[in-house]
Each structure stands twice: as C-alpha cells, then as structure tokens.
Structure 1
C-alpha cells in the first residue's frame, strides 16, 4: 500500500478551489460524456497532493456519472462498441491496481501524451476531417485496457477511448452517451481500489460532501453546451481537449523526473 498522504486543511480557499475543479469536471461530463477529468486535477493539486486529489475524486466521479446518465440515456449508447470496450476496461483497472506501486506513472504519462499528440497530428495532417473507419475488436480491447490502466493510475482514461471512438464517426449524442456509460462503469470499478490505496481522512469526506453541490449544475450546464454544438464543432472540441490533456500528461511525466 502506498503511504497515506496528509489531509488538506479545510479552509474556505480549499473548499472553493476543490469545488471549482469538481464543477469543471462535471461540465466536461455533461458536454462530452466524460474522459477529461484530468483537466480539473491541476486545480485540486494547488491545495493538495495529486494522490489525495485522486482519492477525493474517486467517489465523486461515481456520483457525477450517475447524475450524467439522467441526460445520456440508453438511446445514446453504442452498445456494439461498449460490448467490445468494457471487458478491456475492467481488466486494465485491475492490472493498474495490482501494479500501482510498481508502475512508473511518469513514463505512462509521457507515453500516453506522445501517442495522443501523434493521433491528433495525423488528424490534422488528414485535413481535420472525420474519416469513418470500421469497428475493430482488437483495437477496442486495446483501447479499453489502456484506458483502464491510465484511469486507475492518473484519472486520465479519456485519450485511449477517444482515439477509438472518434474515427467511428458516431453522432455527437451517441459519442457522448457511449463515453458516459464507459466511464460510469470504469469509475464505479476503480472507486473501491482507490479508496483502499488512499484511505481518505475525515476532512476529505467533508470536502466530498461539499462538492456534491457542484454536480447538478455542472453537468446540466455542460449538457446545455453540448446541445449548442453541431457535429463538427463537437469533434473539433474533443480533438482540442485531447491536445490539452496530452500536454498536461507530458508536463506531469517530464516534471516528475525532476521533482
């Protein structure tokens, strides 16, 4: 088991910063179905260490996902893709949990960033158009496993899933709904392992309770934003977020070697 980090101080500034980070993640879930939780972690990391932030987010992500399913109903799920993706996701989470201490989180972050930037680069070279490609079971399994490992290690499972789903040319609602259910299963699966690894203190639970208030409004505003985007705009936004996520992963990985 990893060392349990010190609990953050429960100050007004801490509550405000964590609330803002959770709200941002909720907005992303409402707008894109999930997969970009890492964009909110930098805010949390200003008032607590990243491991504590991971433990704090683990149960909150489950609550966000369950609320988001109010908008992303079964009609928005691509069931053929989920059947291919979910087994690999669960296997990846299990693998990530078993090797949590042994895995070099920095190297994983750098590799994931490089692959993601290459994927976006190829999209730009191809004219930034959505080229529809056929489904592939091996690619789906690989994406599920990679997403499971990265979401368990760093709450950054979005890029592998996006790299599989975006080339399929799904409608914007089906893309978001499929992503939402994928991470509902993933976050529910990894919640207990994360809590076992981090063991949140009483203050952490108080922060979680305060942040529950951010979920309804954050998800709803994200969902309204999703409705204003057309298909092309949503796909461009997703590719743009992949770049942001990749740069954040690259920074975390490289700076980790000099910490």
Structure 2
C-alpha cells in the first residue's frame, strides 16, 4: 500500500464514517465504512489498519456512553460468547470460506429485518433469553473476527428487547469495546501492518473525535422510534453489502 493523498483522504473518510456510526448508534456498523477503505487497499490490510483505531474510538466513545447506559444483565450473557467466538474465528480464519459466511450472515440479517417489517415495524419488548444471548455473542465474535460484521447478530438479540435508545447504544458500545480489545492482537498477528499503515493510523486518529462527536449529536436529536428504525435500516444496508461481498467473491 502506497501512502498517497488519495489513500489518506479515503481512509480518513472511512474512519470518520465509522466513528459517526459509533457515536450515533453505539457501534456494530463498522462494515459500512470498510468498503471505502477497500477502494485504496485490500480488505485484510483495512482490517489491520482499523483494529488499533477501534480501540482509540472505543476509549473516546466512553465519554458519552457511561456505565448508566449499559444493560449489565445482557452484557453478562453476551460477553463470554463474544470472547470465545473471536478465539474460534481467529483459529478458523485460514480454513473457513469467508464468502459462505458472508452470504449466510447477509441472508439471515435480511430475514430478521423482514420479520420486523411483517410484524408492523413497531418496537415490541420481548423477554430476555439466555440461549439467544449466548448464540448472539458467539455469532458476533466469529463474524467480527472473520468478516468484520459482528453488528447484525448483536442487533438481532438487542433490538427485540425494546431497550431505551441510550441503553441500547451504550450496551452496544461496551460490547464492541470488549470485542475490539480482544481481537486487536489476533488481527495484528494476521496482518502485520507496514510502516505506511502505522503512519496512516496516526493520521486517521484525528477523524475519531470529529466522527464520534457528530454522531452523538445525531443520537441526542433522535427519538426512540427513529433510532430503532435507523438501526433496522442500517441492518438492511449491511446485509446488502454482505451479500454483495459474498456473491462478488464467488464470481471473482
């Protein structure tokens, strides 16, 4: 990867977009920014570039998503599966067919959103389920390590609970703070960033407070219904991106 002006601008825009989503919705939609980075570098290099930046983003986001916004009962159920899933994703990284995983995750996400639309597109509170939480944590851990798409499994568990918008965003934020810290070393072992990549990371750090801060302002302006509708809408965009990646991977 060459450190050109185009590379710097595109990477800065991608990190800004991810930070914006983090501030507005708590995280889980990083995959929306990754396609931008893929315009100037391969996806694996992009993953290595973002891994340390996610940590900085997480630390900055904690100033907004304080412990009062965390759903601790759900995090207790979700986090062990997340850590185990990341470990499994790292061990299987070289053996799994990423295209198949990507397609399956995209189809599952679209089905989930479709069921919500059929049900009237309303926020309905459903009881907490330990098996569903464990499954969501595991699935999110594997997919965030293998395909950078840990958001949909978590959203499929949290959205039906009908949490308040601040609690939903705060719980998501802490979930991915733990996940990003856990997968940092595995990603750096897989990618081994070059000096140019490290330099680009340093430049992109400036995009984090801008993106997260602007996203937080949007979060505060939205009401409960708007936040949930936006999250479901972002899931559709994410699912379509996953399907595109999977299909183009087979065709390419």
Counterpart of 2:221 in structure 1 is 228
How big is each residue's C-alpha offset from its partner over 1:152-209, in whole Å with a ceiling of 9 and x where there is no partner?
0121100000000000000000000000000000000001000000000000000000
Q: Distance in 1 between matches of 2:159 and 2:98?
A: 26
How big is each residue's C-alpha offset from its partner over 1:73-100, in whole Å with a ceiling of 9 and x where there is no partner?
0000000000000000000000000000
TM-score under structure 2 normalisation? 0.99
Q: Distance in 1 between matches of 2:169 and 2:153?
A: 15
Match of 1:124 among 117, 121, 128: 117
How big is each residue's C-alpha offset from its partner over 1:122-141, in whole Å with a ceiling of 9 and x where there is no partner?
00000001111000000000
Counterpart of 1:183 in structure 2 is 176
TM-score under structure 1 normalisation? 0.97
Secondary structure of the corresponding residue to residue 251 of structure 2: coil
Counterpart of 1:72 in structure 2 is 65
Match of 1:41 among 34, 45, 53: 34
Counterpart of 1:19 in structure 2 is 12
Match of 2:103 among 104, 110, 114: 110
Q: Distance in 2 between matches of 1:22 and 1:115?
A: 27
**Displacement of 1:258 after TM fit?**
1.2
- Unaligned 5+ segments in structure 2 are none
Counterpart of 1:151 in structure 2 is 144
Q: Distance in 1 between matches of 2:62 and 2:238?
A: 24
Counterpart of 2:79 in structure 1 is 86
Runs of 4+ with >4 A deviation: none
Match of 1:100 among 62, 76, 93: 93
Find out whether 1:164 has 2:157 as its counterpart: yes
Q: Distance in 2 between matches of 1:49 and 1:135?
A: 39
- Unaligned 5+ segments in structure 1 are 1-7
**Displacement of 1:217 after TM fit?**
1.1
Counterpart of 1:59 in structure 2 is 52
Secondary structure of the corresponding residue to residue 257 of structure 1: helix
Counterpart of 2:199 in structure 1 is 206
CA RMSD in angstroms, aligned pairs only: 0.4
